[in-house]
A = this chain, B = another copy of it.
């Protein structure tokens, strides 16, 4: 499967006055798992830049099912589900101890040529090679 995961131990500075992780921090957790996937296929942000492309996020969604608290370990799984015209990932965050689902999400990012600043309507060849689909 085209996926990667990271385990995050919830830091104190991510927890809000309700004693749960502030909802905005999950965007960071998603990025950690996405970056882990991109690193594993040898196409991280630096390699993207070297290859002449950036992949800005154009759409992101988060659904909160249950909350995470300080010190708990959470598993963040990012799965690549589309790559032809854009990179689309699905995310699922679970509590390591209980296996309970905490958060689900999605992100889309598109290739932009660093030379022209133009958005690409098809994924660059190099990405498809790194994914082993070409």
Contact = CB atoms under 8 A, between A and B. Distances in A.
Interface of A: 11-13, 15-20, 22-24, 27-28, 31-32, 35, 39, 44-46, 54, 56-64, 67, 70-71
B57 A60 contact: no
B12 A17 contact: yes
Contacts of A60: 23, 61-62, 64
Within the oligomer, what is the number of copies of this chain? Answer: 4
A102 B67 CA distance: 30
Nearest to A19: B17
A interface SS class: mixed
A46 B63 contact: no
A28 to B, nearest CB: 6
A11 to B, nearest CB: 6
B16 A15 contact: yes
Contacts of A13: 16, 22, 24, 28, 31
